[in-house]
Amino acid sequence: MYLVPVVLNENRTATFVLDTGANHTMVTPDLVRRAGLESAYPGVKSKARMATGQEVEVSWTRLKSIAVGLARIDNINVSVYAFDLWDRDVNPPTTVDGILGADFLWRFTMTVNPKAGTLTLQLDDLPVKR
């Protein structure tokens, strides 16, 4: 599991799991509350399929921005779902606030170096490291 520090709306830090298999970026309802976000489509729910194959109902919120280092996307809809992920390998265990999915990642050339513990996102020949 690769944990990535992200910044939402230029001021809210969070910890996301890097998930190249997830179509959409997802955040927890707890993060939505802490960040003071509102529903992008009040009352609207849609179906999402989790990696386990389980189909769940999600709502949506809109972020003004999401950034990983200097790599940034503005005005992005993200799904909201209550999942419980922890990185128990660090001390103290870290709560995961979201999943960084393909809707963010596909806009960059991505290189993960597990030995160095780095993620490089490159846009227009300008490398951006976390």
Domains and CATH numbers, the chain: 3-129 (2.40.70.10)
48-89 pLDDT tens trace: 877 777 788 899 999 999 999 999 999 999 999 988 765 556
| Confidence band for 91, pLDDT divided at 50, 70 and 90 | low
3-state secondary structure of 105: helix
Model pTM score: 0.82
1-51 pLDDT tens trace: 788 999 999 999 999 999 888 889 999 999 999 888 877 777 778 888 777
Query: 111 forms bridges with which residues in the sheet?
Result: 120
72 residue type, one letter: R
Q: What are the residue ranges of helices labelled H in the chain?
A: 29-35, 102-105
**Distance, CA of 46 to CA of 11 (rounded, Å):** 28
**What is residue 84's predicted lDDT score, i.e. its pLDDT?**
72
CA distances in angstroms from 33 to 66, 79, 109, 126, listed in the order given: 17, 14, 32, 34
Query: What is the DSSP code (8-state) at residue 82?
Result: -
**Distance, CA of 87 to CA of 36 (rounded, Å):** 25
Q: CA-based angle 7:105:97, to the nearest 5? A: 40
**What is residue 90's predicted lDDT score, i.e. its pLDDT?**
61
